[in-house]
């Protein structure tokens, strides 16, 4: 194993090493799984994967299609047991400007129906850049610790967390019977530097930044190693708690302190937006001297009853926001502008850059967004540019340094034809506003190979069919060979592994020939071992596909790649229709758009895009073929237990006095109700406040039950 520090690798060395690591890890996987005869220890295996990940973190452009990291956590998850979180672990929405923060506060006020001068306090906390963990205490004893994982399910790292001194094993004071304290595990700058020094001296891999090293240290199989890493923990939120000891975020943190947790000492409770923004600037000023990494600050509505009312939108609370620090910037040369075509035909200009390190990561590509942006920047090939990168956001070009422009640099001409299929690429005009779309799109639609490949890529991706190991190169190879034309083909191919085998073997031979041509060297002949590896690969692929023959309806809809229908809208639509057949049938009828727009959160534009999709015969065929291969499961009912309105259609009308309209809707939906804007024979319940008019009459006409706001609140009390 090469022992050169990851930070010191050149791009060429990194590429070579990733190649070697992919092969080596695959071989260990095979020995472990197929032969049950591992050649190395778990710790050594972990080290290989870690080194692979670290190199990839530094050189994201070199990530291989067959990288072991695509099988995220596959190996690790076999080693740590899974933990289903009693309450999901959520993430935060981001604010980047003062204005974003002001808007956040305004949204909160509006939702709660608070006047501008009504008191609204925020708890302001530094945003620690580490990894989040959930610590479960029963009767005051630490019983289980878990990583965040995908938010619903994490990994059991109890033994490792026990070694962290900031984590109490027994709580002080009078804690609730069950308490899940959540917070961030992090490593100080000093410890990070010392650790890397030790690692280097011992010829072991070094880490790119304190966050990676905290994560790597916690996910060790040997808790002894975690113990030697001197990690820290700040508590800042909670999961399941049998009896909340406080009424505000601030008091909760005080309670945490009393139980024996560390709470960030810079935390402040403030009562105005001016004070919130001042907090941000103060912390920004202290950032460099803190001794640990933070990547912003977090504002939380202080009152817990408000938090409760505000609830969540998809994965983030409405009551909190992360205000991120400005991105890190660097100067480099724009070597070329590449045009990529996405699944909706959008021509996306990508800046190909002379590799440069920004905040510890080597960047070679950055987005230029669109044609107007290139014009605004006046970016030309050969220019010296400033790029910036913030956290996990795609790097972008922010400025051209005109003084450094070479003479003769030509203005960039944005293509008006698709570079893949030659069709015209146009900027659509919005019929209503007459405004030109910022994106130029390929009009090739179904004939454009780039769009087809991207659609298929999207189909197998995480939030859609999530077919393990079926990304990147496979899609392209199978598409090029004509074996994969539409999504249903994926499932048809799984029944013919020999076809998959042949296609991949051909691809491998082609790649070897390319390498030979490039290096001028003969490569070793394909061995029996290669053959075995290949068939193992295909076996895994087939298993990955077969595992997805049953799929939940929201994922199915998302996978179809309908314009404007991503995860969130797919979920809203899937919740509304009882089955995929019901949706397909509904789309054939005249009332399709009207029914779609009745769904809370679905507007005209989205409804029309869905209808258009199902109006297109080719799409209907694609869906039909797919339904011949897979089973689509309807959505599980939300919180139906104990909810009197689950599955019912509710209409709110008139003036509501104790809650705002969006709040009423959000609450009803969280209890499994469908909230509609108009009363029909399908309505189950009308909640009417003073001033209710025509809807009340409609309710009488259709014989629908009508109740007032108080009766509604009584009905859902305690839920
Ligand atoms: S609150 C429901 N508070 O940031 C509330 N998160 O970008 C969830 N983080 O996953 C989180 N410092 O790992 C919260 N003071 C803080 C935090 C914090 C760091 C992390 C946390 C979370 C991520 C979201």
Count of CB atoms situated within 10 Å of the CB of 38: 14
CA–CA distances in Å: residue 355 to residues 15, 361, 365: 14, 10, 8
Q: pLDDT category, 638, cuts 50, 70, 90?
A: low
Nearest of 547, 538, 536, 541 to residue 31 by alpha carbon: 536
66 against 438, higher pLDDT:
438
What's the rounded Cα separation, in Å, for the pair 342 and 563?
12
Q: Give the pLDDT of residue 676.
A: 85
Q: Give the pLDDT of residue 640.
A: 55
CB 423 within 8 A of CB 526: no
What's the rounded Cα separation, in Å, for the pair 513 and 522?
9
Spacing, Cα 305 to ligand 1 middle (Å): 20
Q: Give the pLDDT of residue 75.
A: 35
The CATH homologous superfamily for domain 6-64 is Helix hairpin bin (1.10.287.610)
Place of tokens 């790292």: 157
Q: Whose CA is nearest to atom 17 of ligand 1?
A: 127
Spacing, Cα 183 to ligand 1 middle (Å): 7
Q: Give the pLDDT of residue 363.
A: 85
166 against 470, higher pLDDT:
166
Ligand 1 atom with least separation from CA of 320: 5
In the CATH scheme, what architecture does the domain 329-447 have?
A: Beta Barrel (2.40)
Please say if the pLDDT value at position 373 is more than 90: yes
The predicted model gives 678-703 an average pLDDT of 90
Q: Which residues of 634-659 are buried (b: 16+ CB within 10 A; e: fewer)?
A: bbeeeeeeebebeebbbbbbbebeeb
Q: pLDDT category, 485, cuts 50, 70, 90?
A: very high
Residue percentage of the chain with pLDDT more than 90? 56
With a 6 Å cutoff on the Cβ, whether 322 touches ligand 1 is: yes
With a 6 Å cutoff on the Cβ, whether 91 touches ligand 1 is: yes
Spacing, Cα 151 to ligand 1 middle (Å): 12
Q: Give the pLDDT of residue 377.
A: 95
Q: pLDDT category, 245, cuts 50, 70, 90?
A: very high
With a 6 Å cutoff on the Cβ, whether 296 touches ligand 1 is: no
User: In CATH, which of 3.30.470.30, 3.20.20.80, 3.40.50.720, 3.30.2010.30 is domain 94-324?
Assistant: 3.30.470.30
Strands 347-358 and 328-341: antiparallel
User: Can you name the CATH fold of 649-715?
Assistant: Rossmann fold (3.40.50)
Which positions ≥6 away from 652 have C-beta within 8 Å? 661, 664, 665, 668, 675, 686, 687, 689
Q: Which of 130, 317, 322 to mutate to test the pocket of ligand 1 (most atoms within 8 A of CB)?
A: 322
Q: Give the pLDDT of residue 304.
A: 97
Classify domain 449-516+527-546 by CATH number: 1.10.150.20
Helix (H, G, I), strand (E, B) or coil at 535: helix
CB 231 within 8 A of CB 160: no
Q: Which of 89, 91, 92, 295 to mutate to test the pocket of ligand 1 (most atoms within 8 A of CB)?
A: 92
The catalytic residue positions are 127
Spacing, Cα 92 to ligand 1 middle (Å): 6
41-45, 330-334, 339-343, 607-611: which has the minimum mean pLDDT? 41-45
395 against 630, higher pLDDT:
630
Q: Give the pLDDT of residue 553.
A: 95
The predicted model gives 108-132 an average pLDDT of 96
Contacts made by residues 66-73, CB under 8 angstroms, sequence distance 24+: 66/22, 66/26, 66/473, 67/18, 67/22, 68/21, 68/22, 68/25, 68/26, 68/29, 70/469, 70/471, 70/472, 71/468, 71/469, 73/155
CB 692 within 8 A of CB 657: no
128-132, 527-531, 649-653: which has the minimum mean pLDDT? 527-531
The predicted model gives 154-174 an average pLDDT of 94
Nearest of 227, 80, 71, 239 to residue 154 by alpha carbon: 80
Q: What average pLDDT does the structure give for the chain?
A: 88
The predicted model gives 211-234 an average pLDDT of 90
Q: Give the pLDDT of residue 219.
A: 85
Q: Whose CA is nearest to atom 13 of ligand 1?
A: 132
Residue 467 phi/psi, 5° resolution? -85, 115
CB 454 within 8 A of CB 342: yes
Q: Do domains 6-64 and 94-324 have the same CATH topology?
A: no
Whole-structure pTM value: 0.56
| DSSP type of residue 539 | H
Domain limits, the chain: 6-64, 94-324, 329-447, 449-516+527-546, 550-633, 649-715
Which tens digits make up the pLDDT trace of 54-70?
898 888 788 877 777 76
CATH 1.10.150.20 fits 550-633, yes or no: yes
Spacing, Cα 91 to ligand 1 middle (Å): 6
Q: Give the pLDDT of residue 77.
A: 38
CB 70 within 8 A of CB 25: no
Please say if the pLDDT value at position 522 is more than 70: no
With a 6 Å cutoff on the Cβ, whether 249 touches ligand 1 is: no
């Amino acid at each position: 194993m090469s022992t050169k520090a990851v930070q010191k690798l050149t791009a060429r060395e990194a590429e070579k090493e990733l190649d070697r690591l992919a092969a080596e890890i695959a071989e260990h996987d095979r020995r472990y799984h197929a032969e049950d005869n591992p050649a190395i220890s778990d710790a050594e295996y972990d080290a290989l994967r870690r080194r692979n990940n670290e190199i990839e973190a530094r050189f994201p452009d070199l990530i291989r299609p067959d990288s072991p990291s695509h099988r995220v956590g596959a190996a690790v998850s076999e080693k740590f047991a899974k933990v289903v979180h009693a309450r999901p672990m959520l993430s935060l929405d981001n604010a980047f400007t003062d204005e974003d923060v002001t808007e956040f506060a305004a949204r909160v006020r509006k939702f709660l129906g608070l006047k501008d001068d009504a008191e609204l306090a925020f708890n302001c906390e530094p945003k620690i850049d580490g990894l989040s963990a959930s610590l479960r205490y029963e009767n005051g004893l630490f019983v289980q610790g878990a990583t965040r994982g995908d938010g619903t399910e994490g990994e059991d790292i109890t033994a490792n967390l026990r070694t962290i001194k900031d984590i109490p094993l027994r709580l002080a004071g009078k804690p609730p019977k069950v308490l899940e304290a959540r917070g961030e595990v992090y490593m100080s700058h000093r410890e990070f530097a010392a650790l890397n020094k030790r690692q280097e001296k011992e010829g072991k891999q070094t880490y790119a930044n304190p966050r990676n090293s905290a994560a790597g240290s916690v996910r060790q199989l040997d808790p002894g190693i975690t113990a030697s890493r001197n990690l820290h923990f700040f508590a800042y939120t909670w999961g399941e708690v049998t009896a909340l000891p406080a009424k505000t975020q601030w008091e909760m943190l005080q309670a945490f302190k009393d139980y024996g947790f560390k709470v960030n000492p810079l935390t402040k409770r403030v009562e105005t937006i001016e004070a919130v923004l001042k907090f941000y600037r103060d912390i920004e000023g202290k950032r460099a001297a803190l001794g640990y990494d933070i990547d912003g600050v977090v504002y939380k509505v202080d009152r817990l009853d408000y938090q409760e009312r505000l609830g969540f939108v998809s994965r983030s609370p409405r009551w909190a926001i992360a205000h991120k620090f400005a991105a890190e910037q660097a100067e480099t040369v724009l070597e070329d502008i590449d045009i990529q075509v996405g699944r909706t035909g959008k021509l996306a200009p990508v800046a190909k850059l002379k590799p440069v390190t920004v905040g510890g990561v080597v960047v070679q590509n950055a987005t230029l967004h669109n044609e107007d942006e290139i014009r605004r920047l006046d970016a030309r090939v050969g220019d010296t540019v400033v790029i910036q990168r913030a956290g996990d956001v795609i790097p972008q070009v922010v400025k051209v340094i005109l003084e450094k422009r070479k003479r003769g640099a030509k203005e960039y001409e944005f293509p008006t034809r698709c570079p893949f299929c030659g069709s015209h690429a146009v900027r659509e005009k919005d019929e209503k506003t007459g405004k030109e779309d910022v994106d130029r799109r390929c009009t090739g639609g179904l004939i454009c190979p780039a769009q087809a490949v991207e659609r298929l890529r999207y189909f197998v991706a995480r939030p859609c069919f999530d077919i393990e190991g079926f990304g990147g190169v496979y899609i392209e190879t199978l598409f090029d060979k004509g074996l994969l034309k539409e999504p249903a083909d994926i499932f048809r191919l799984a029944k013919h592994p020999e076809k998959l085998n042949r296609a991949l073997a051909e691809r491998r031979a082609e790649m070897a020939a390319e390498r030979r041509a490039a290096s001028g060297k003969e490569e070793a002949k394909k061995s029996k071992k290669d053959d075995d590896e290949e068939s193992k690969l295909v076996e895994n692929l087939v298993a990955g596909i077969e595992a997805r023959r049953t799929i939940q309806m929201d994922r199915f809809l998302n996978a179809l790649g309908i314009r404007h229908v991503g995860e969130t809208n797919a979920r809203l639509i899937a919740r509304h229709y009882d089955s995929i057949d019901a949706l397909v049938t509904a789309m054939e009828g005249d009332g399709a758009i009207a029914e779609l727009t009745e769904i809370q959160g679905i507007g005209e534009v989205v409804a029309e895009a869905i209808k258009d999709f199902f109006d297109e015969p080719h799409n209907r065929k694609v869906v039909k073929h797919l339904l011949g291969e897979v089973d689509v499961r309807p959505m599980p009912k939300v919180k139906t237990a104990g909810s009197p309105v689950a599955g019912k259609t509710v209409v709110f009308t008139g003036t509501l006095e104790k809650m705002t309209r969006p709040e009423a809707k959000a609450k009803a939906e969280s209890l499994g109700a469908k909230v509609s804007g108009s009363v029909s024979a399908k309505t189950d319940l009308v909640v009417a406040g003073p001033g209710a008019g025509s809807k009340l009459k409609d309710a009488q006409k259709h014989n629908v039950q009508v109740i007032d706001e108080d009766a509604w609140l009584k009905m859902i009390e305690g839920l």
